[in-house]
Structure 1
Amino acid sequence: MFQNVIIGQYIPGRSLMHHLDARAKLIAVFLFVFVIFLANSWVSYGTLFAGALFVFSISGIPIRYIWKGMLPISILILFTFLLHAFFTNEGELLYSFGAFTVYSGGLEQGFFISMRLFLLVFITSLLTLTTSPIDLTDALEIMLSPLKKIGVPAHDIALMMSIAIRFIPTLLQETEKILKAQAARGADFTKGTVKDRSQAFVSLLVPLFMRAFKRAEDLAYAMEARGYNGGEGRTKLRELVWRKRDTAACIIVAAFGILIFAIRG
């Protein structure tokens, strides 16, 4: 299941999303995320979903790939929906069974929060799927560069964020390998007492942390061997170029946000 996680992965392509400047995509995603929190009605969430589908249509990402990638988060989305559906006592009473009650307001709020979570993961995933780690690092560094005047290490922060995003699928794949290895040795993560499950998870966490630290150490040695000494005096093989289409993309997302604000309930 973990190999289907799409956050942090990059798929080369020639779509319009791939050709946009990484800075424009970051700005557009930040604006879109802000707009998601403005929605509070069926119409606004429906419009947001239509906008997300439009972004997906110009990304060039295969539908099967994005569908498999959203499956791991579907459990969390379903849990969020059920949590609000059963524990939010607002609106009209629809169903009652013992201690469980379902209200119309709970269903509505559960759907809205679940849709918000889905859109957040969906849009941020499209960002990493259509932006190479190098371009993402350069864009973050350029956007944080004004903070250098107050002593903020913009290059180091951008590099750390890019590496963290890139290693998300790697660590999840490592987790799955360890789970299978421990299960083959008799570890059971689903049955037994709380103490037994805790001990089983310790057998998962200890090797996972050891592998994570080992990867971090190997990466540090590799960067030192290649003479990496921070962003001071470094040049770039490919310079980011802001074009008219990048400005148009940001304007369209901003206009979309104004539309969502206008149709709020």
Structure 2
Amino acid sequence: MEAQPLQRASPPPPVHVAIIMDGNGRWAKARGLPRTAGHKRGAEAVKRAVESAGKLGIRYLTLFSFSSENWRRPLAEVTDLMTLLRYYLRNEVHFLHEHGIRFRSIGDRARLDADIVAQIERTESATAAHDRLTLTIALNYGARAELTTAARRIACEAAAGRIDPQQIDEAQFAAHLYTADIPDPDLLIRTSGEKRISNFLLWQLAYAELIFVDTLWPDFSNQDLQDAVGEFHRRERRYGATGG
């Protein structure tokens, strides 16, 4: 009997994928709908992305949900976004349990309403033991503020004599970031065709592959995520070790 050719194993998925979810407003405008409708459809896209990431074997998924600059949007839109956030925090815990997802939030919680902070903390606690996928939502997040806060904390520790300034290195600095307990992203995806990082994970994205897709976030599908992972696998990651 003729020997069958060996099947080539599929490459492992990126461990950590970060996504800038962009295009909710444009999706709604193109359909003559209020921006709130775009945000609601965007929330549905979040669930699709989370389910797809789990099936692909991605271990960490970080989504840029609300930036510290988003407070400048019209008050009615911000209010609608916070109402939507409350709804999903209250009603989607069963989804997290069902899929073995650990939930966490990064960003400055000081400006969020107390009931939202309390629900975030309850959800983090309730899902802490899950280990299939860690879903991190960036809320009231800005990378420059994160870096500034980390530097301030290290400076205070040095002033108190708990840290030798000469011993501060990249690992010690990273340990003071919101993401200290998870690996840096391997892949960043931004939807809607924009090609900016927009103050998102500036330290953590140092060696991530960046993929920009034209799809508006509410239309982001399982296939879009699979295609992005496929593009990631076609790239050679050098980490600065060799030239092009």
Q: Provide the TM-score with structure 1 as the length reference.
A: 0.27
Q: Is the helix fraction higher in 1 or 2?
A: 1
Question: Greater relative contact order (Cα 8 A, min sep 6): structure 1 or 2?
Answer: 1
Q: Provide the TM-score with structure 2 as the length reference.
A: 0.29
**Highest Rg: 1 or 2?**
1
